[in-house]
Structure 1
Amino acid sequence: MFNNAGINKVFLVGHVGKTPRLHTQADGLNFFSFPLATNEFIKKNNQSVEHVEWHQVKIPVPMLSETAPDLNKGHLIYLEGKIKTKCYTDELGIKRYKSEVLCVNFRVLSSIPAEVQVASEGELM
């Protein structure tokens, strides 16, 4: 059925951590990039503890421009995409990896809620 093919599919619901910034790749493609915070509550020592996970998201310019040109920090969004990992060597010669979520579909679920604020340094307040 799948011919030994894998599946690379991500579904996320979370808050935009920073206003999306425009970037141009080396191949000339333009995209918007921003961190997305997802949170879950886990049991730890019989107490419910909130765990926040940060995802770096890339959305092609045409997709964001048509559907949500005013996407801002704090918006709650639903996102479908795939994971892409890049490998690079830093200035010290150490091999590093960076994972990103490449968006193929998304929807704004709500505007910025008053009780949830996202700090610019990647922490929920």
Structure 2
Amino acid sequence: MSVNKVILLGYVGSDPEIRYPEKDKPVAFMSLATNERYANSTAEVTEWHSLVMGGKNAEFAEKYIRKGSRLYVEGKLRTREYDDRMKIRRRKTEIIVERFELLGRKNEPPA
């Protein structure tokens, strides 16, 4: 048995970018920032994650998710390879979002 499960809670770093690789099938791409504070330290480390949402999730993202939105995400890791403009082989690891909850905006009091 194996498990590929990611759970994140953070802030959206940019408005979703919507693409249509197939007609009538939107895909949303955005970044999510999570922060971690080390024990006995005031230093905080920010980690950036690439999110991918498809179908109805992408439609929702296009309408309601904006930079600064607080987002809870469940999904799985997926790594893909591609050639950039200079024909250099690149790898990118993304979170394929299966479930999410929009929790509000940055500096907005919790509901």
TM-score by length of 2: 0.82
Give the paired residue count. Answer: 107
Q: Which moved more, 1:60-69 or 1:30-39?
A: 60-69
> Which residue matches 1:82?
76
Structure 1 residues 22-41: aligned runs within 5 Å? 22-25=18-21, 27-28=22-23, 29-41=25-37
Shift of 1:65: 3.0
Shift of 1:63: 1.8
Q: Structure 1 71/90 Cα, relative in aligned 2: closer, same or farther at 3 Å? A: closer
Q: C-alpha separation between the residues in 2 aligned to 1:67 and 1:102?
A: 14
Shift of 1:38: 0.5
Matched, 1:13 2:9: yes
Q: C-alpha separation between the residues in 2 aligned to 1:14 and 1:31?
A: 20
More strand by share: 2
> Which residue matches 2:44?
50
Matched, 1:100 2:94: yes
Whether the aligned pair in 2 keeps the contact of 1:16 and 1:77 (CA below 8 Å) is yes
Runs of at least 4 residues off by over 4 Å: none
Q: C-alpha separation between the residues in 1 aligned to 2:105 and 2:86?
A: 42
Residue deviations 1:36-88, cap 9 Å, x none?
00010124xx5331000001101114124358831110011100001110112
Q: Structure 1 101/76 Cα, relative in aligned 2: closer, same or farther at 3 Å? A: same
Larger Rg: 1
The letter for the 2-side match of 1:98 is K
Where in structure 2 are there 5+ consecutive unaligned residues? none
The letter for the 2-side match of 1:12 is L
> Which residue matches 1:60?
54
Q: Identity of aligned pairs, percent?
A: 31
Where in structure 1 are there 5+ consecutive unaligned residues? 115-125
TM-score by length of 1: 0.74
Q: Structure 1 61/112 Cα, relative in aligned 2: closer, same or farther at 3 Å? A: farther
Whether the aligned pair in 2 keeps the contact of 1:75 and 1:113 (CA below 8 Å) is no
Q: Secondary structure at the match of 2:43?
A: strand
